Structure 1
Amino acid sequence: MTPSNEREMAELVQDASGPLSLNGGGTRPIGSPVAGRALSTAALSGISLYDPGALTLVAGAGTPMAEIEAAVASEGQRLAFEPMDHRVLLGTEGVPTIGGAVAVNASGPRRVQAGACRDSLLGVRFIDGTGTLVKNGGRVMKNVTGYDLVKLMTGSYGTLGVLTEVSLKVLPAPEATASLSVAGLGIERAVEAMSAALGSPYEVTGAAHRPGGPDTAAVTTLRIEGFEASVTYRAERLKALLAPFAAVSVERDQEAVARDWQAIRDVAALADGEAAVWRISVRPSDAPMVVERLPEAEILMDWGGGLIWARLAEEVDLRAALSDLSGHATLMRASSERRARGDVFEPQAAPVAAIAEGLRARFDPRGILNPGRMG
């Protein structure tokens, strides 16, 4: 079912006699499979308002990300949260949409400086599980009253409502960018180097590390963005700051920098093969322990070590290996059989699970919206 407007969407949800499997651009949702009738937001597409002067954009949930990115780029602006393209890692097709990005809180390397997707969101419109249209937030950051459903809907994976429209802030695109690379660091030294850079006054907007392999050397990469003169100055200062760790190389070609960080954003280094891929969020200081306990895993680290992507065999009990560490792990890629077994998302503590269950009962009392998706 692909309703063409909010009214039709509300009627379909209201009249539903069983579970609904929500999707946007068909890139295959993350999470456990949902046994239900397909309901798509693809036709709820288009930019209804874009005010470059106010740094504000409003679009239907089914609007392709490419359309939004092209529109803001034409005005010298961008989406600050740098959403990843999951098709690269999942090996799927389809069209990424803004609603899908909001539903999974897609947030790329720039999160360390600009925040997550939810931090760019100003307002949402959605259909709850009773078929009622709900509006929250607005077109300016201070227009948020009552329950902050904007934040609540972001990352809810379609389990609380069907997103129909989103309002978000955009930011100016930088005049210049640079990447600084340090080769040959071990995990602990790489985390120290990234922490030093992120703790400096030089406004780092990306901090990633790829451990070495049989045919590749380890590389730690940092990104800075801004006005040309500022980037030049900060690149030199960061180079001096990182000199005690190892030799530092600086890339200033904009296309090369964009290409490298797009690969980091989309976890391209772990895209090959059919092994499971996990997304692990931990304290950066715990990153060396994570890597040590997963000796067979291929690793990519982002967010200064706070985000670890790990590719390893499906039969490995990753959560058992990391059970005493604070954080959470999400199974991002696996066979349909493995995903059907559940535990795709980190099990919630009892108090949190009770709150989540209460929210689902409030917004989807019949339990028809993506049931089991976050199992």
Structure 2
Amino acid sequence: MSATEVTGEAELAEAIRGAEGPLSVQGGNTRGMAGCGAALSVAGLSGIRLYEPGALTLVAQAGTPLSEIEDALAAEGQRLAFEPMDHRALLGGSGTPTIGGVFAANISGPRRLSVGAARDFLLGVRFVDGRGRIVKNGGRVMKNVTGYDLVKLIAGSCGSLGVLTEVALKVMPVPETSATLCLAGLDDHKAVKAMAQAMRSPFEVTGAAHDPARRLTLLRLEGFAPSVRYRLDRLRALLAPVGADMRVLEAEESEAAWQEQRDVTAFAKAPGDVWRVHCRPTEAVEIANRAAAEAHLFDWAGGLVWLRMAPGTDLRARLGNYEGHATWVRAAAETRAACAREQPASPGVTRLRAGLRAQFDPRGILNRDRAGQP
């Protein structure tokens, strides 16, 4: 069934107020966030409202294509520092990623471990809640707010508290250059130790990942060219005792390698379910061992583990207790039937979520099966 598309905030509010059942809210529909019910598209809410390069701020409607925003920023030598993942290859989609979808799902890439998550760059929001009320919170500068910090609540809620219509965000300058130090031949234990050592160093590493299949560990440095070169030399000397073969990927090759890591390209055409596990980096290797996955990848210096599992595997039962949570990103029908997408929350968090849901969507009509996400 084709989606009903709205082109204005007032029209969206009216559509939600008049809804007689659950709504499946969609933007570019590339990230698997839509819930059950009648499809409601906000892709028509598109356009950059305000861009002030000197103030490092941008305001855009939620349905604005991510590519349009990235092109506008690139023209001014700026970027989205949290490098949001493009899910299309992994999920087999062909839609258009939108800035609203990025913040609704709090999509953050490899640079998250050094600059923070997408929600940390969100300054203000406008959204329509489940009652059809238009809500505004925050602004174009960082500031404290009274009551709910809706900017933080709405980011990552996957449309279950309200439908984003506009976002104000902070952007960052593109560094002069980047380079990646590649360590070849390390097993998982040695790779995680090397990444931890690099992150503890004063050399400002902005990406730390490991591909066990290729036994390749990536450490990214960014900034002014002389600084990057100096830090590369120092980092190489620091990690010399690990015994890895080392080489450097320069700017373009480095960027391509991190885009593949960001989008989990290695799993895109391979069969099976794909899960992401957030955990303590010190537990990453044990998590991978317990999972007995067909393949795995480490990002965020081990704080994020990507796992490719046989269809229908209950990964959470296999992992048991640990400090973290597992979410399936791509799953076969038998997995979807047996496992909720999100990790079941503790009783306290469940009560908190229910309270928020009652406040913002008492009818429970917005992306109903994503209600546990905030």
TM-score bracket for this pair, using the shorter chain length: over 0.9
Distance 1:233 1:248 in 2: 19
Corresponding residue to 1:265 among 250, 262, 267: 262
Say if 1:65 and 1:98, in contact at 8 Å, map to a contact too.
yes
Distance 2:44 2:144 in 1: 28
Say if 1:239 and 1:248, in contact at 8 Å, map to a contact too.
no
Matches within 5 A, 1:60-139: 60-139=61-140
Q: Give yes or no for the alignment of 1:280 onto 2:277.
A: yes
Corresponding residue to 1:353 among 333, 350, 367: 350
Distance 1:26 1:15 in 2: 23
Corresponding residue to 2:7 among 4, 8, 12: 4
The DSSP-based 3-state class of the residue aligned with 1:29 is coil
The DSSP-based 3-state class of the residue aligned with 2:306 is strand
Residue 51 of structure 1 deviates from its aligned partner by: 0.1
Residue 248 of structure 1 deviates from its aligned partner by: 4.5
Residue 255 of structure 1 deviates from its aligned partner by: 1.3
Say if 1:178 and 1:250, in contact at 8 Å, map to a contact too.
no
Say if 1:59 and 1:166, in contact at 8 Å, map to a contact too.
yes
Say if 1:122 and 1:150, in contact at 8 Å, map to a contact too.
yes
Task: Report the residue type matching 2:24 in the other structure.
Answer: S
Q: Which runs of 5+ in 2 are unaligned?
A: none
Distance 1:153 1:68 in 2: 20
Distance 1:357 1:301 in 2: 33
1:311 alignment partner in structure 2: 308
Say if 1:88 and 1:268, in contact at 8 Å, map to a contact too.
yes
Q: What are the superposed Cα offsets for residues 284-320 of structure 1, whole Å, 9 maximum, x if unpaired?
A: 0001111111224300110000000000112322111
1:151 alignment partner in structure 2: 152
2:190 alignment partner in structure 1: 189
Residue 142 of structure 1 deviates from its aligned partner by: 1.9
1:18 alignment partner in structure 2: 21
Q: For residues 358 and 318 of structure 1, do their structure 2 counterparts lie closer, same or farther at Cα, with a shift above 3 Å needed?
A: same
The DSSP-based 3-state class of the residue aligned with 2:164 is strand
1:343 alignment partner in structure 2: 340
TM, length-normalised to structure 1: 0.96
Task: Report the residue type matching 2:283 in the other structure.
Answer: D
Distance 1:221 1:28 in 2: 26
2:60 alignment partner in structure 1: 59
Say if 1:235 and 1:250, in contact at 8 Å, map to a contact too.
no
TM, length-normalised to structure 2: 0.96
Task: Report the residue type matching 1:273 in the other structure.
Answer: A
Distance 1:211 1:342 in 2: 27
Distance 2:315 2:275 in 1: 9
Residue 336 of structure 1 deviates from its aligned partner by: 4.0
Residue 35 of structure 1 deviates from its aligned partner by: 2.7
The DSSP-based 3-state class of the residue aligned with 2:308 is strand
Q: For residues 154 and 258 of structure 1, do their structure 2 counterparts lie closer, same or farther at Cα, with a shift above 3 Å needed?
A: same
Task: Report the residue type matching 2:274 in the other structure.
Answer: V
Distance 2:153 2:133 in 1: 17
2:250 alignment partner in structure 1: 253
Distance 1:337 1:16 in 2: 31
Corresponding residue to 1:333 among 320, 326, 330: 330
Say if 1:287 and 1:306, in contact at 8 Å, map to a contact too.
yes
Superposed CA RMSD in Å reads 1.3
Q: Give yes or no for the alignment of 1:173 onto 2:174.
A: yes
Q: What are the superposed Cα offsets for residues 73-126 of structure 1, whole Å, 9 maximum, x if unpaired?
A: 100000011100011211111000000000110000000111000000000000
Q: Which runs of 5+ in 1 are unaligned?
A: none
Say if 2:124 and 2:137, in contact at 8 Å, map to a contact too.
yes
Q: Give yes or no for the alignment of 1:293 onto 2:294.
A: no
Task: Report the residue type matching 1:134 in the other structure.
Answer: V
Say if 1:137 and 1:145, in contact at 8 Å, map to a contact too.
no
The DSSP-based 3-state class of the residue aligned with 1:367 is coil
Task: Report the residue type matching 1:239 in the other structure.
Answer: R
Distance 1:149 1:334 in 2: 31
Distance 1:138 1:315 in 2: 44
Task: Report the residue type matching 2:300 in the other structure.
Answer: W
Distance 1:118 1:28 in 2: 17
Task: Report the residue type matching 1:10 in the other structure.
Answer: A
